[in-house]
Structure 1
Amino acid sequence: MKYEFTYDERLGIELPVLHVEWDALTEAEQSRLLHDWERIRGRIPDRIMQLERSIVDKQNRLNGEDDFPASCRLNTEIAELASCITDLHLWFRADQDVSVKGHY
């Protein structure tokens, strides 16, 4: 297998993994990979909205939290979710060819 898509638990989507250089793929393989990636890429906005809802929920909980360690934990969780959103934006905005070649 020259490439595959593996599920990234942190981001909640599958990401392309090339086992050979991009240029070693045939034109048909490149086309199939990009087609599959576009299908996955199309779900990124929904995943971002899901994470944003989680952030809002945690922020609301944080507003009423009096326990300092619990507040720190919520802040850490919010920061991690925000980091995931940033990474998803990068994957979403990357040019098709560049996103596959540039990350693997």
Structure 2
Amino acid sequence: MRYQFILDERLGIRLPALGLEWEEYSSAERADILLEWEEIRATIPDQIIRVETVIIDKTKQMSEEENFARSCELNSEIHELASVINDLNIWFRVQQDHETKMHQ
């Protein structure tokens, strides 16, 4: 397969797996890839909101937690979720960044 989109369990979205350099794809293939990516990309803000909701819940749990070890676990989980949001934001900008480079 020349390209595909594979589910990233951590991020909860499908990510592109390109078998070739971008320039090696035909214009039709590029258009297909970009169309599918744009559909996936449109789901990223909702995925971020879902992760933020989990962070809020875990933050509430942490503020009420009396067990120090469990507080540390919750803090680590919150840190990982924040990292997921950061990565989702990076992926959200991929199309925008690519279009900017194409127009320069």
**2:38 corresponds to:** 38
Give aligned pairs, total: 99
> Retained in 1: the 8 A contact 2:14–2:40?
yes
How far apart are 1:96 and its partner, in Å? 5.0
Q: Percent identity?
A: 49
Letter in 1 for 2:9: E
**2:6 corresponds to:** 6
Query: Structure 1 residues 56 and 48, CA, compared in 2 at 3 Å: closer, same or farther?
Result: same
Structure 1 unaligned spans of 5+: 100-104
How far apart are 1:21 and its partner, in Å? 1.0
**2:98 corresponds to:** 98
SS of aligned partner of 2:20: coil
The root-mean-square deviation of aligned C-alpha atoms, in Å, is: 1.4
> Retained in 1: the 8 A contact 2:11–2:84?
yes
**2:102 corresponds to:** none
User: Which consecutive aligned stretches of 4+ in structure 1 deviate over 4 angstroms post-superposition?
Assistant: none
Note the alpha carbon deviations across 1:19-78, whole angstroms, 9 max, x for none: 111111110000000000000000000000000000000000001001011000000000
Alpha-carbon distance in 2 for matches of 1:17, 1:96: 18
Alpha-carbon distance in 2 for matches of 1:3, 1:71: 43
Alpha-carbon distance in 2 for matches of 1:72, 1:22: 43
Larger RCO, structure (CA 8 Å, separation 6 or more): 1
How far apart are 1:98 and its partner, in Å? 3.1
Alpha-carbon distance in 1 for matches of 2:96, 2:36: 11
Structure 2 unaligned spans of 5+: 100-104
1:1-104 matches, cutoff 5 A: 1-95=1-95, 98=98
Alpha-carbon distance in 2 for matches of 1:82, 1:76: 10
